[in-house]
Amino acid sequence: MPDRFILQKLLNSTLATAIVDTGDDQVGGYVADAAAAVNLRTPQQLLAAYGVEGAPQFVDVVRFEQPRLATLSQPSEAPRPWPTFPNGFLFGDSLSQVWAMSRTRYPYGSEYWRLRSDGEQKMLSRYEGVARGWLNAKQWRPPSPMVGTLARWRGTEFFADVVAETVQLTAVTADGPTGFEPVRANVWSMSVPLNETEVFERIFTAELDGVPVRIVRTSGRTAELLLLDDDPGLARTVGAGSIEPGVYEVVVDTGRLTNIRGVENQWAP
């Protein structure tokens, strides 16, 4: 990993399966300071730090650089049916700060690790950017232009992975732009200097029956939504399901959405 602030995310079975089986590239929710959590080496120790009882044979985590343009905020202090972190730290003596992170795309170089009950830790996969996705994943999932970094280069917009002083541009199109190399069917990539690009993200928000949501992907007349409130009661009113503590998603017809707004956030190196 590059020498930058590293976060660690504990994966439940749903999130782990999404990476391994479908190559899911989106991340958000609870994240912790990886360096401060280094002594949580067994599944039992790590789960206890999250307020969860159990001693499985293994647990999976992803370790990654703090994503550009994603926001880290204090976890909700409201009573919830899952362990919360009112003091802003994991439980126990790890002194690992914990945040609620806004939805983004995994940064290039993110690592998927498995922690076993005997203390062994083994890296199982690595995220190689938009064009290549997760190594050894069963599938590659096309990225969403509504989540994660994009870049403008020579008047055209591309999916973007910032790697040190370069940007890996990815085009998903039948015909590759000039100078781009094919990576897979209809996916093309090229690296350019960071200072030649403008890196940004677009966030689209809306309301679903009065509940604030973020649009994370669209397909035809349907939209995948992330609720912007972790209240279980609100989630039930719109039929949203929990994918991890405090994170609710739902797929709806776009005609149900109101007050749709978009904002562009630019990254200044």
Q: How confident is the model over 133-147, as pLDDT tens digits? A: 999 999 999 999 999
User: Which of these, 8, 64, 12, lies nearest to 40 by C-alpha position?
Assistant: 8
| CB half-sphere exposure, 215, CA atoms < 13 A | 26
CA 203, CA 263: separation in Å to the nearest integer? Answer: 5
CA 56, CA 50: separation in Å to the nearest integer? Answer: 14
State yes or no: pLDDT of 35 exceeds 70: yes
Question: Can you list the alpha helix ranges (DSSP code H) found in the chain?
Answer: 13-22, 43-49, 232-237
For the segment 94-117, the average pLDDT, to the nearest whole number, is 96
Confidence of residue 1 (pLDDT cuts 50, 70, 90): very low
Q: Are strands 156-163 and 166-172 parallel, antiparallel or unpaired?
A: antiparallel
State yes or no: pLDDT of 2 exceeds 60: no
Residue 95: its pLDDT value, please? 86
State yes or no: pLDDT of 195 exceeds 80: yes
User: Which of these, 65, 78, 35, lies nearest to 234 by C-alpha position?
Assistant: 78
State yes or no: pLDDT of 261 exceeds 60: yes
Residue 86: its pLDDT value, please? 87
Q: Please answer whether residues 109 and 99 qualify as being in contact, where contact means their C-beta atoms are separated by less than 8 angstroms.
A: no
Residue 4: its pLDDT value, please? 67
Q: Please answer whether residues 187 and 170 qualify as being in contact, where contact means their C-beta atoms are separated by less than 8 angstroms.
A: yes
For the segment 193-215, the average pLDDT, to the nearest whole number, is 98
Q: Please tell me the least confidently modeled range out of 3-12, 20-29, 34-43, 179-188.
A: 3-12
For the segment 122-135, the average pLDDT, to the nearest whole number, is 98
